[in-house]
Every structure is written in C-alpha cells, then in structure tokens.
C-alpha cells in the first residue's frame, strides 16, 4: 500500500480525471489525497474522496505571458506543496499537466511523480499536423509545406517555454530536465495519429471518466414540472422505446462561450427525435417548454445518466464528455469552441466516429438556413443518425479501449512506485 497525492486545477475537465485515478487507486488499497481548488470540494465530499485545497503560493510576480505566469506560479507554490507532501508522507505524486507545481514539489521531496494528461497526446511531431489547429494528417504537398512552416514557428514558443521551466527549476535549486516517471494520456488509442516514434513515457490509459454523485444535483424543471425534480424524474420523461435520443451539453471549461444546449433546442425542433439538453441555464428550459411539447428535458444532469439513453451526442469536444460518449459507442456531432476541442473534433472525424460543425466564423449566425448555425447543426445530427457507419466507428473505438480506463492508470502508478514500469507503446507508422 502506498501513500499517493494527486493534484489538479479547479476545472472539471482536469479535476474529474484526477478523481477517477484517485478512486481506482483507493479501490486497490492505497491511501490517496486529492489536492484541488475549493470549488470542487462539495462534489468530492459527496463522493467521499479525501481532499485538501491547493496550498497558497508564496508572493511572486504576475506575468502577462501565459508560460511565464504558469512557471512563476508553479515555482512559488512548489515549496508550500512540498510541505504538504511531507505532512502526508507521500511516496508518489500524480500531477495534472497544468499543475506544474506538483512535479516541482515532488522533486524537492525526492519522490517520483507522474503527469496526468486528460486529453490526446500533444507532443509535436514533424510527420503530423501541428497540434491544436484541428487538422487531419495529409499527404498533399502544399498542406505538408504549411504544416512544416507552423511547426517551425511553434518551435520558438516551445523553446521559450523550456526556458521558463529551466529558470523556475534553477530558482528552486533543482537540476536536470525534471521529467516525470510516466505520463498518463487519457485518450482512446483509435484517436491517436500514428507516429514514427511513440514516446516511451506516454502510456495510453483511455478516458478517465468520473461524474459526481447525483447528491446535490439540481435539475431545472422541464415542461410539465413546476418545481425541483430528481434526476430519475427528469429522465423519466424520455421514452426508451420512442424516437432516437440526442444528448446535447454545454462546455464546462473556463473561457467557454457556451450556448450549445440552447442551439440544439432550436436546431432539432420538429425532428423525430427526443432531446436531453444538459445546461445550467434556466432560460433554455423556458425556451424548450415553448418549442417542444414532448420528448425534451433540460437539466443539469450527470453526463453518464444521459448518455446511457443516447444514440447521438452533441458537444463542444472537451475530453471528458468525448471519452464518456465514445466508451459507450455513441457517435458525436462536435461544435468546437476553443483550445483542445479543435484537435478533438479533428480526431473524431478522422476516425469516422462523428461530424464536426464549425460555428466560429463571426458571420455564421447571420446566414440563413441551411447554412446558418441552426441549419448546420440540424443537418449534421440528421446525417449521423441516418448513417450507421458513425456508430460502427464509435463502437470500434470503444472496443479498442475496453481494457483501459482508470484501473489501467492506477496500475501504471503502482509500477512507478515499485520501479517495474515498462516502456509505453502507442500507434506508430514507418
């Protein structure tokens, strides 16, 4: 039995995978402690997960540059975090990719650490399109030339980031490169582009899905409800033997524009489908009650409860909801908003498990149907429902990840503690 500290930021997309690994480790007999923002505290308390808030960082200069600010904060938080590790007598640290303080603190304490990457592998490779642009691999010479140009420009940014990390480490008296003992990459193998060389520390562990308990979840009343309702009562309005069920969800990520659930309520009106719209916006429930006499519920629901009924899911493309959907073989219509959602949408369409709708152009909302926002989303959902190939492809992705998930991640951490970890393997090409 080992004593393990797991660190993450406050965003659900980073905390929930960390909690999934923590619970898998606890089930295997280890003592765990989750370190995260206070915002997630009530959810972890309801689930019985031991946690403590992120230690206060020592005074430090705030930076305008994102990389400089990340490493400046990490260096300032490293010593208070190391003190926390010492009090818990931690033997290993699992640190989210955005919580660089976790790795620095582990090194200060002289214990191994594991990095948790809650999405696809983002290591650049010259044979692949640049990460983050939402491009598919291509053999067209002009596309490859542009890929190489973007890789060249991005290499300068990576070099500055390495410099920021080096200065942070030097300020703490740390030497060497500071690499983790392993990386847990929470991606489905079928969504990873084959590389010439797969990094030996990047272990594909599949989606690390977790939803908080239903306790404390307060669905908004849908049509016919005058007061608060339980999750079971809300979902009882969906007929399992009725028309296909479509699940649409807003993004939970910081900085997301939101509004996808509301758009789905408008776009799917009149189709022979049932809709579960997951949102925290009360106005969407009112809009749905006016547009949908039957077959629609709007609520703040646990994803897994809704996806158990779904035949198609609509989402921005965050790794958490994407993984929960594909593990159940549910094809997707993705409407990326920002960040890693663009990359996720490209990989899902590349694998044939869904369609992408791009609404980021500022004039899209001004165009008439069927090329406006409503028309594009409606058309994409109809095509995924009509073509069984999307469901077949989603099923293949689920089958390839059947032996993964949180227990696989927990096993990697155990191998790190025991010093028996083997080199990672992933999809490669000549």
pLDDT tier at 369 (50, 70, 90 boundaries)? low
pLDDT tens-place string over residues 313-324: 999 999 999 999
Query: Above pLDDT 70, what percent of the chain?
Result: 90
Distance set, CA 124 to CA 155, 193, 344 (Å): 9, 11, 15
Give pLDDT, residue 63: 62
Q: Are 46 and 212 in contact (CB under 8 A)?
A: yes
What's the mean pLDDT when you consider all of the chain? Answer: 87
Q: Are 182 and 201 in contact (CB under 8 A)?
A: yes
DSSP codes, 85-150: HHHHT-SEEEEETT-HHHHHHHHHHT--EEEEE-SS-----TTSPPTTS-PPP---HHHHHHHHHH
Q: Please, where in the chain does CATH 3.40.50.2000 lie?
A: 3-208+405-418, 231-400
What gap in Å lies between CA 166 and CA 394, rounded to an integer?
A: 42
CATH of 3-208+405-418, one of 2.40.10.220, 1.20.1600.10, 3.40.50.2000, 3.30.300.130: 3.40.50.2000
pLDDT tens-place string over residues 173-187: 998 888 999 999 999
What gap in Å lies between CA 412 and CA 402, rounded to an integer?
A: 17
212 SS3 class:
coil
pLDDT tens-place string over residues 106-120: 999 999 999 999 999
Does the pLDDT of residue 428 top 50, yes or no?
yes
pTM, full prediction: 0.90
Going across the sheet that includes 51-53, the strands are: 51-53, 31-36, 3-7, 92-96, 113-117, 182-185, 202-204
Torsion, Cα of 419, 422, 424, 430 (10° steps) = 150
pLDDT tier at 362 (50, 70, 90 boundaries)? low
- Element at 236 (helix H, strand E): none
pLDDT tier at 387 (50, 70, 90 boundaries)? very high
Secondary-structure class of domain 231-400 per CATH: alpha beta
What gap in Å lies between CA 170 and CA 122, rounded to an integer?
A: 26
pLDDT tier at 216 (50, 70, 90 boundaries)? very low
What gap in Å lies between CA 16 and CA 7, rounded to an integer?
A: 11
Does the pLDDT of residue 54 top 90, yes or no?
yes
Pair of tokens at residue 151: 């890789």
pLDDT tens-place string over residues 395-426: 999 999 888 889 999 999 999 999 999 999 99
137 phi and psi angles, rounded to 5 deg: -60, 140
Q: Are 391 and 329 in contact (CB under 8 A)?
A: yes
Give pLDDT, residue 217: 47
What gap in Å lies between CA 18 and CA 115, rounded to an integer?
A: 10
CB neighbourhood size of 427 (10 A): 14
Q: Are 333 and 380 in contact (CB under 8 A)?
A: yes
Give pLDDT, residue 225: 46
Does the pLDDT of residue 84 top 70, yes or no?
yes
6 phi and psi angles, rounded to 5 deg: -120, 130
Give pLDDT, residue 226: 40
Q: Are 313 and 353 in contact (CB under 8 A)?
A: no
What gap in Å lies between CA 280 and CA 295, rounded to an integer?
A: 19
Work out the average pLDDT over 122-129.
Answer: 91
């Amino acid at each position: 039995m080992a004593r393990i500290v797991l660190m993450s930021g406050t965003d659900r997309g980073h905390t929930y995978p960390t909690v999934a690994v923590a619970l898998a480790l606890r089930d295997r007999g280890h003592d765990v402690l989750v370190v995260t923002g206070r915002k997630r505290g009530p959810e972890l308390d309801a689930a019985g997960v031991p946690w403590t808030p992120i230690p206060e960082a020592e005074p430090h200069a705030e930076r305008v540059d994102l990389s400089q600010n990340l490493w400046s904060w990490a260096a300032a938080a490293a010593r208070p975090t190391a003190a926390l590790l010492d009090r818990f007598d931690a033997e290993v640290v699992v640190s989210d990719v955005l919580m660089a303080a976790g790795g620095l603190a582990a090194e200060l304490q002289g214990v191994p650490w594991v990095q948790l990457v809650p999405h696809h592998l983002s290591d650049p490779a010259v044979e692949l399109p640049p990460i983050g642009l939402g491009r598919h691999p291509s053999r067209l010479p002009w596309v490859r030339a542009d890929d190489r140009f973007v890789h060249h420009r991005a290499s300068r940014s990576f070099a500055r980031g390495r410099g920021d990390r080096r200065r942070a480490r030097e300020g703490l008296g740390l030497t060497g490169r500071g690499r983790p003992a392993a990386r847990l990459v929470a991606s489905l193998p079928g969504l990873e582009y084959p590389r010439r060389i797969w990094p030996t520390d990047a272990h594909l562990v599949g989606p690390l899905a977790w939803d908080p308990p239903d306790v404390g979840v307060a669905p908004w009343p849908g049509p016919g409800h005058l007061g608060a309702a339980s999750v079971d009562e809300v979902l009882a309005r969906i007929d399992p033997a009725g028309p296909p069920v479509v699940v649409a969800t807003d993004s939970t990520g910081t900085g997301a524009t939101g509004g996808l659930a509301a758009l789905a309520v408008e776009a799917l009106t009149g189709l022979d489908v049932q809709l579960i719209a997951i949102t925290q916006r009360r106005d969407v429930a009112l809009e749905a009650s006016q547009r949908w006499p039957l077959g629609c519920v709007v609520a703040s629901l646990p994803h897994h409860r809704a996806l158990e009924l779904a035949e198609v899911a609509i989402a921005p493309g965050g790794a958490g909801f994407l993984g929960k959907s594909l593990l159940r073989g549910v094809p997707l219509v993705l409407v990326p908003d920002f960040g890693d959602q663009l990359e996720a949408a490209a990989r899902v369409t590349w694998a044939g498990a869904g369609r992408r709708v791009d609404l980021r152009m500022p004039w899209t909302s001004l165009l008439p149907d069927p090329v406006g926002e409503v028309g594009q989303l409606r058309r994409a959902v109809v095509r995924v429902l009509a073509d069984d190939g999307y469901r077949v492809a989603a099923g293949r992705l689920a089958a390839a990840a059947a032996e993964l998930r949180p227990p696989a991640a927990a096993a990697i951490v155990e191998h790190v503690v025991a010093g028996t970890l083997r080199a990672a393997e992933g999809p490669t090409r000549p």
